[in-house]
């Protein structure tokens, strides 16, 4: 790709990127657990979350207005493998509800995966962080941070099938406050193809299930 084409794509991507918002108290995904699964076979779409080295869960997320909510977390009786980090559509048979207070159990009957262009999302994120570096610095200062030093790569937090949007997070380095660690977290809503639709900065990255 020529230098001119690369520069052109960079400028176009910067012009159409959403502005970073400061939503200090907004969570990446709000756990609401209000989706009632039927007793019969049903099909759900979501993403896999690793609860431990050997335990997977299928998270079903929706977006309403400006809030992403996890409707249900499903523990499956079989592993989704190989899992490439994409969008899972699974046919399941629910077997137990209210497990651990907020999870359901189900038998996995069949599943398929839609791949996600993670490299395209990463490229869009890099362009946004470069073009809005001063804005991000200003927003970070408002919540007491000097800079944003990413502590990890993009993490896929969910897929809202009703809006066909992926929810990603990028956690910055932490600041120790007593026994609690507070982290700046950037949240990105994107299409599966990589286009960013919403970006916000928060410190409410942790999902507290008891709340």
The answer to whether residue 160 sits within a structural domain is yes
* End position of a domain, from candidates 114, 131, 155: 114
CA distances from 4 to 1, 8, 9 (A): 8, 6, 9
* End position of a domain, from candidates 71, 90, 114: 114
Position 180 confidence tier, pLDDT thresholds 50, 70, 90: low
The answer to whether residue 2 sits within a structural domain is no
Q: pTM for the whole thing? A: 0.86
Do residue 138 and residue 89 come from a single domain? no
Q: Render pLDDT for 89-107 as a digit per residue (tens, 0 to 9).
A: 999 999 988 766 678 999 9
Q: What pLDDT is attached to residue 61?
A: 96
What residues make up the domain containing 154?
Answer: 18-26+116-202
Do residue 93 and residue 68 come from a single domain? yes
**SS3 label, residue 211:** coil
Do residue 34 and residue 110 come from a single domain? yes
The answer to whether residue 166 sits within a structural domain is yes
pLDDT at 169 over 80: yes
């Amino acid at each position: 790709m020529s230098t001119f084409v690369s520069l052109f794509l960079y400028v176009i991507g910067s012009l159409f990127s959403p502005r970073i918002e400061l939503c200090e108290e907004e969570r990446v995904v709000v756990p609401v657990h209000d989706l009632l699964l039927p007793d019969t076979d049903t099909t759900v779409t979501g993403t896999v979350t690793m609860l431990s080295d050997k335990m997977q869960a299928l998270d079903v997320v929706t977006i309403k207005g400006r809030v992403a909510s996890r409707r249900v977390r499903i523990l499956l009786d079989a592993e989704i493998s190989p899992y490439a980090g994409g969008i899972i559509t699974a046919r399941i048979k629910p077997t137990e509800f209210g497990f651990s207070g907020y999870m359901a159990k189900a038998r996995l009957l069949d599943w398929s995966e839609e791949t996600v262009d993670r490299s395209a999302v990463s490229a869009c994120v890099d362009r946004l962080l470069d073009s809005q570096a001063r804005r991000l610095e200003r927003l970070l200062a408002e919540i007491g941070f000097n800079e944003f030093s990413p502590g990890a790569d993009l993490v896929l937090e969910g897929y809202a099938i009703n809006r066909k949007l992926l929810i990603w997070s990028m956690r910055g380095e932490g600041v120790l406050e007593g026994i609690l660690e507070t982290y700046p977290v950037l949240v990105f809503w994107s299409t599966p193809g990589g286009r960013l639709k919403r970006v916000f900065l928060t410190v409410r990255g942790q999902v507290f299930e008891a709340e």
